[in-house]
Amino acid sequence: MKSKQQYIKLYISAFLLFSIHINAQKSNDSIEKKIDSILSQLTLKEKVDLCHAQSKFSTKGVSRLGIPEIWMADGPHGVRAEISWDSWNHAGWTNDSITAFPALTCLASTFSPDLARQYGFSLGEEARYREKDVLLGPGVNIYRTPLNGRNFEYMGEDPYLASVMAVPYIKGVQENGVAACVKHYALNNQEHWRSLINVELSDRALHEIYLPAFRASVQEAGVWSIMGAYNKVRGQYATHNELLNNKILKDDWNFDGVVISDWSAAHSTMESALYGLDIEMGTGTDGLGLNKENHYDYYYLANPFLEKLKKGEIPESIVNDKARRILRLMFRTNMNSSRPLGRVNNQEHIEVAYKVATEGIVLLKNEEQFFPIQDNRSLTIAVIGENATRSMTAGGGSSELKPKFEISPLDGIKKRFKNAAILHTMGYESGPSEYSRVVPGKLNADSLKIKAIDVAQKADIVLFIGGLNKSNSQDCEGDDRKEFGLPFNQDILINDIYEVNKNLGIILVSGNAIDMPWLSKTKGLMQCWYLGSVAGNAIADVITGEVNPSGKLPFTFPKHLKDNSAHYFGEMSYPGDGVNQYYKDDILVGYRWHETKKIESLFAFGYGGSYTNFELSNIGINKKSYQRDEVIEISCDVKNVGKIEGAEVVQVYIGKPNSKIERAKKELKGFTKVFLQKGKTKTVKISIDISKLKYYDTELSAWNFESGKYDIYVGNASNNISKKKIVNIK
C-alpha cells in the first residue's frame, strides 16, 4: 500500500510531466506557425537556395528576412579546424584549436552511457563556441570487417551497444543548441569503393543489424539531422534512396529533421528531390569546373532543381517540405534565442576526455601480472615504436583535429616514471599522415631496427608502442586496410625484440582488430585506441596502475581474417566486385557469427581485463514466465575479490533456442557498469523490455515476436557466461 504522501508525489510528478509535454507541444506549434509565415514570404529561388551549399561547410540564409546561414563542422570526436570557403585547405585561423576527445571506438569500450552524455555535451559546447550549427557526428555504422578504414569513428559491431551509446551522445550535443548529425545512413561499412559499391542484403540484416542505431538516434534521441552515405543500397544511392529516406526514415520513424548529403554523395536532381535529400553538400560544380562563377548554383539541388520546379516536373510541395525541415533545424539551432553559449578547451572538457580515455583502454593480456609497472630507481624501461611519439589527432580524413595540445604516450610515461630510466627509439617509420596516398618514410628501416634491438637489450622492461595510424590504407577515410597484420614490418620487429628481451609488453594504438602472430611472446597487451589530447596521460596512468583498466571490446578480434563473417564468404561478401556486394553473413555479424558457428575468437566482444578480480553470483530473474508486454528484471551480485578498486561490466545476452527462424545463439540486450572498492559487493539490476526481443518478419515487413522459451545469459563477455537462465514468454 502506498502512503498518502507517496500518492501526492506521484500526482505532482505526473502533473509536471504533463505540463512539460503541453508546454513543449505549444512551443512546437508556435515554431511551426512561424515556419508557415516564413515559407509564405520566401521566393522559389530562396527556398531552393536553402537546399544546397554556398561554401565547403555552409549553406545560404535569406538576408532580407534575417534568416542566418547554417554552419557545419566535422566531426565525431572533436571540432575540425576551420576550412577555407572554397577549398579543402585550412583557413589558417589561430583561434580554432580544440579539445581532441578519444575516438568513438574508445567511447564504446567504456560501456558507459553516462560518459557518452558527458562526451556529447562537452563536444557540443566546443561546437557552439566555434559557432557551428551542425556537428557531423556521431558515426554509428556497424563494424563488419576489421579492414574498414573508418571503423575507428564508429561504435563497434553490436547494434544494441551502438544504440545505447549514441542516444546520450546526441542528447548531450543538442543540449547546446547544436544539431548532431548521425552518419552514415546507411550500410557504409567499408571505405573501399565506397562511392561505387551497391550493397545487397536481407531485410532482417538491414533492420536488425544495420539500422537500429539510426532508429534509436531518431526515436529515442530525437536527432535533428542525418547524413546520407556514399554507397548504393539495392541499386539506388543511399543519399537519395526511396526506401531508406522516404519509407523508413521519414514515414516509419517520423523523422522531422534534415537529411544532409555526405560531401559529393548526391548524383541526381530528380532522385535528390524526390527521395528525401534535404541539403546537398560538397558536390562542387557537377563537372563544370571550380572556376565557374557561382558554381554552387550548379549543384543537383540548385539551379537544375529550380528549373524542374518552374517547369512543373517536380511539385512545389517537395521544396516546401525541404525548406520547412531546414527552417525547423534553424529554430532548434541558430534561430533559437535561448541556446547557451559554448566553451572550449576548459578543464571540464579535458577531464571528460581523460575519463573516457582511461575507462576505454582495454587490458587484453596480463601474464605474470606484467601490468601495472611500478616506478623505481633501479628500473630501465625501453619505449620502442613510432606510435610512442606520433600525433594521432592528425590524419584520418575528415576526422582530423587541431588540438590545443596533445600529450604523446612517451611524454606521459616520462611524466609518470620520475625515477626509472626511460630509453626511447622509433624502431620503424611509417611516413607522414596522408588521406589519399601512401607516403614512405625517409629514414633507413634497417638502421631503425638495429637501434631498437640495441635499446631493448639495455632495458629491464620493453614497452612496444605500435599498431596503426590515421593514414591512407590504415585507419583512414577513403580506403580500407590492405592487410590484417601490422604494417611496416612491426611483426618482425616484435619477434626480434623478444629474442633479446622476454620482458615485453605491447601497447596497441589503433581503431581496428589486427593479426597477432606474436601474441605468445608478449606478457602484457593493451588496446589503447586513438585517445586524443590526453592520450599520453591516460596510457601512462593505466600502465602504472594509477587507473585500473575497465574497458571492454566493442568488437571481436578474430584469430584469422577468414574467421570474420564478412570474409568467410569470399570476395562477393567483402569487398564485392566493384559494382555489387552481398552481405552473405546476414544477421550473423561479429560475435553473433563466432558464437553461433562456434568459431573461437582471439579476443571476444565484451572482453576486457582488470588489475583486480570480480565474481558474479546470486544471478536471478524476477519470475520464470512473462507476457510479451512485460519487462524482465535480472539481478546479480558483483563482488570485487581482488586487492584494489575497479569496475566490471555485467552483460546480459538473450537467445531463442529452437526458433522457427535463423537466429544468433545470443545477442546483447542489456549491460551495466559497476565500480567497487576491494572486498565490496553490490547488487545490480538490469531491466529488459521484452519488446526488444522482436525479430523483423520479412513476410509481414514488420517487427514480430516469437513466443516460447528464451535463454538468458549473464556474464562479463560474449564468451564468458557465469549463468544461464531459462524463461518462458507467451
Which H helix or E strand runs over 322? helix 316-332
- Distance in angstroms (rounded) separating the CA atoms of residues 476 and 502: 33
Residue 484, phi then psi, degrees to nearest 5: -80, -25
Which H helix or E strand runs over 467? strand 461-467
Give the angle subtended at the CA of 33 by the CAs of 32 and 35, to the nearest 5°.
Answer: 65
Neighbours of 415 (CB within 10 A): 13
Positions marked catalytic:
262
- Distance in angstroms (rounded) separating the CA atoms of residues 410 and 383: 7
For 425-445, b/e burial (b = at least 16 CB within 10 A) is bbbbebbebbbeeeeeeeeee
> How large is the angle between the packed helices 159-174 and 113-129, nearest 10 degrees?
40
Report whether 638 contacts 676 (CB < 8 A): yes
Report whether 266 contacts 239 (CB < 8 A): yes
Say whether 688 sits in a helix, a strand or coil. Answer: strand
- Distance in angstroms (rounded) separating the CA atoms of residues 265 and 279: 11
Q: How far is CA 49 from CA 266, 272, 317, 329, 424, in A?
A: 16, 14, 16, 15, 56
Closest CA relative to residue 282, chosen from 128, 76, 136, 103: 136
Determine what percent of the chain falls in helix, strand and coil, rounding each to the nearest 5: 35, 20, 45
- Distance in angstroms (rounded) separating the CA atoms of residues 175 and 339: 8
Burial of residue 131 (CB within 10 Å: 0-12, 13-18, 19+) is exposed
DSSP assignment letter at 492? H
DSSP assignment letter at 508? E
Report whether 87 contacts 76 (CB < 8 A): no
Helices and strands, number each (H, E), in the chain: 17, 28
Q: Return the amino acid letter for 506.
A: I
Q: For residue 98, what are the β-bridge partners?
A: 403
Which residues contact residue 317 at a Cβ distance below 8 angstroms, ignoring those fewer than 6 apart? Answer: none
Q: For residue 227, what are the β-bridge partners?
A: 260
Closest CA relative to residue 153, chosen from 262, 49, 247: 262
DSSP assignment letter at 62? B
Which H helix or E strand runs over 640? strand 631-640
Does 276 sit behind a cis peptide bond, omega within 30 degrees of 0 on the bond before it?
no
What one-character-per-residue DSSP string does 409-422 give? Answer: HHHHHHHH-SSSEE
Rg (alpha carbons) of the chain, rounded to whole number: 26
Grid coordinates of 705: 515476436
Report whether 277 contacts 266 (CB < 8 A): yes
C-alpha dihedral over 658, 661, 666, 667, to 10 degrees? -150
Q: Return the amino acid letter for 252.
A: D
- Distance in angstroms (rounded) separating the CA atoms of residues 601 and 528: 19
